[in-house]
Structure 1
Amino acid sequence: MTPLSRSAAPAPSADELVDPDQLVERLGISRVLAVGAHPDDVDFGAAATVAALAERGVEVTLCLLTAGDAGGFEGGHDPSEMARRREAEQREAAEVLGISDVVLLDERDGWVEPTADLVEKLVRVMRQVRPDVVISPHPERAWDRLQKSHPDHLACGEAVVRASYPAVENPFAFPHLREDEGLEAFRIAHLLLMAAPQERIDARVEVTAQLPTKLAALRKHFSQHPDPGQMEERVADQMRAAHPAGPSGALAEGFHHVVINGPDTFAGF
């Protein structure tokens, strides 16, 4: 497979960047589904890329597996109230990023597992949205920074991968989705997996111009940030580190790019 390439032309190496225009052109993106285990997951991992895509007319749908009711830093909070707050925060953040729709599933925060039931829910959303690209947490644990490998994130990533192939494109997987709901099977072309182990990152998107938008979206998650200034510094530092040129004014978000159905793959049964 050739990362970030739709032809036989040489693709960027892991130390090269693509800008958002190149990303849209090379992957043929018109519609994206971004999936997170909790509110703010996608905002931390891919908000600048999502904002850049939305600025270029890409339709972005956000799907959250849980309401994030186990999050926050205040003791003794009511889980149902926290869920309500976090949903409201996420909808405001999504508006900042230009996300067109927010879908909330009903998994339990802290207890997400890649079950057949969850895969079915994701296949339903995927067939409704019919994205070219799915953005999701990575299903592999990153030992270099364990905080980005919350068990819910890993389970979310595994469920997304299982749904993306082969379930969403197999008409005999969850046949009631086709027979009762009219949701026909289709093929997803690409995955962009965020929070990947360092050795898996092979696609870096230059998003310096989108830093203010990303930070504005993250500020909406006020229930999760006891020190917003420190959070913003950490995010900017991580984006500087993701840029292959090293410490500089340029910023990037890194992904593991997976081609599911492209010119170098066999798509069929």
Structure 2
Amino acid sequence: MGLDVPGTAVAVGAHPDDVEFWCGATLARWAAAGAVVHVVICTDGSKGTWDAHADTAALAERRAIEARAAAARLGTTGEVVLLGNVDGELVADRATTERVAFHLRRLRPDVVLGHDPWKRYRLHPDHRAAGFLTVDGVVTARDPHFFPQQGVAAHRPSELLLFEADEANHAEPGDPQWLDHKIGSLLTHESQLETTHFYRVGAPADRAAARAAFADDERRKMAEAGRPFGLALAEVFHRMSGM
């Protein structure tokens, strides 16, 4: 169960914190085993607040700092690539696909991870778009007649793991150590604690209680994900091989 630890992995997320939510424990485990893990973030996260009077430019800057800190908390040693598209306005167009393909060619991952674009009833448009950018980026990065002007050799990854999977067919095992790394990295996104993280667990007024409730909820989700695969804790994906 689980892939061999890759030499290099690239995880593509719609927003700062999406990668940590969906595959943080897996990336932490791989990084500790020697994998070079890179994170590509498609949008600036500037709409990640319910404060109608927030300075969205300042929020985008803060979220970029948090994204780098979260990657470090996971133990990754690769790059954090910020594509900088406006939050909520991501489109899987040719120009953005070319940017994703460029980074896949440049970073040359064995494994690519990203949102499942075919997940039914996926509400957030950026998650759908980021999924298509990942899948289309893999296809266009592997074939040399796409974007030849880039001047970077084509690259074909061995595996594609889609998180938020509509039909999960693969599990990466977790354990408490890597779950703790995942939770720690998520709590590094301090700008999101009220509107995203703590909201999911009823937003207890006491900050320590909120953090504990959030951690318990993440443990519960990984336990539920692992159960169909006979694992105590897991992150699950739709795996595509032989690309």
TM-score when scaled to structure 1?
0.80
Q: CA deviation at 1:170?
A: 1.7
Q: CA deviation at 1:246?
A: 8.8
**Which letter maps to 2:95?**
D
Per the alignment, residue 127 of structure 2 pairs with 153
More helix by share: 2
8 Å CA contact retained: 1:32, 1:133: yes
Per the alignment, residue 259 of structure 1 pairs with 241
Per the alignment, residue 141 of structure 1 pairs with 119
8 Å CA contact retained: 2:171, 2:229: no
Aligned CA distance change for structure 1 residues 260 and 247 (closer, same or farther; 3 Å): closer
Secondary structure, counterpart of 1:65 in structure 2: strand
Per the alignment, residue 106 of structure 1 pairs with 84
Per the alignment, residue 137 of structure 2 pairs with 163
CA shift digits 1:117-147 (9 cap, x unpaired): 111000110011000010101101344xx5x
Per the alignment, residue 194 of structure 1 pairs with 163
**Which letter maps to 2:224?**
A
Per the alignment, residue 203 of structure 2 pairs with none
Secondary structure, counterpart of 2:227 in structure 1: coil
8 Å CA contact retained: 2:46, 2:57: yes
Q: 1:247, 1:52 → 2: CA distance? A: 19
8 Å CA contact retained: 2:88, 2:125: yes
Secondary structure, counterpart of 1:74 in structure 2: coil
Aligned CA distance change for structure 1 residues 139 and 73 (closer, same or farther; 3 Å): same
**Which letter maps to 1:243?**
G
Q: 1:43 aligns with which of 14, 20, 30?
A: 20
Aligned CA distance change for structure 1 residues 110 and 51 (closer, same or farther; 3 Å): same
CA shift digits 1:232-258 (9 cap, x unpaired): 23222211110126999x211000001
User: Which range moves more in the overlay, 71-80 or 82-91?
Assistant: 71-80
Secondary structure, counterpart of 2:224 in structure 1: helix
Per the alignment, residue 242 of structure 1 pairs with 225
Q: 2:230, 2:147 → 1: CA distance? A: 48
Q: 1:161, 1:97 → 2: CA distance? A: 24
**Which letter maps to 1:259?**
S
Structure 1 regions of 5+ residues with no counterpart? 1-17, 262-269
Per the alignment, residue 120 of structure 1 pairs with 98
Q: 1:82 aligns with which of 59, 63, 79?
A: 59
Q: CA deviation at 1:106?
A: 2.3
Secondary structure, counterpart of 1:113 in structure 2: coil
Per the alignment, residue 188 of structure 2 pairs with 220
Structure 2 regions of 5+ residues with no counterpart? 199-209
Q: 1:206 aligns with which of 152, 161, 173?
A: 173
Q: 2:215 aligns with which of 232, 238, 246?
A: 232
Matches within 5 A, 1:50-61: 50-61=27-38
8 Å CA contact retained: 2:227, 2:233: no
Q: 1:245, 1:97 → 2: CA distance? A: 26
Aligned CA distance change for structure 1 residues 233 and 246 (closer, same or farther; 3 Å): farther
8 Å CA contact retained: 1:34, 1:63: yes
Secondary structure, counterpart of 2:70 in structure 1: helix
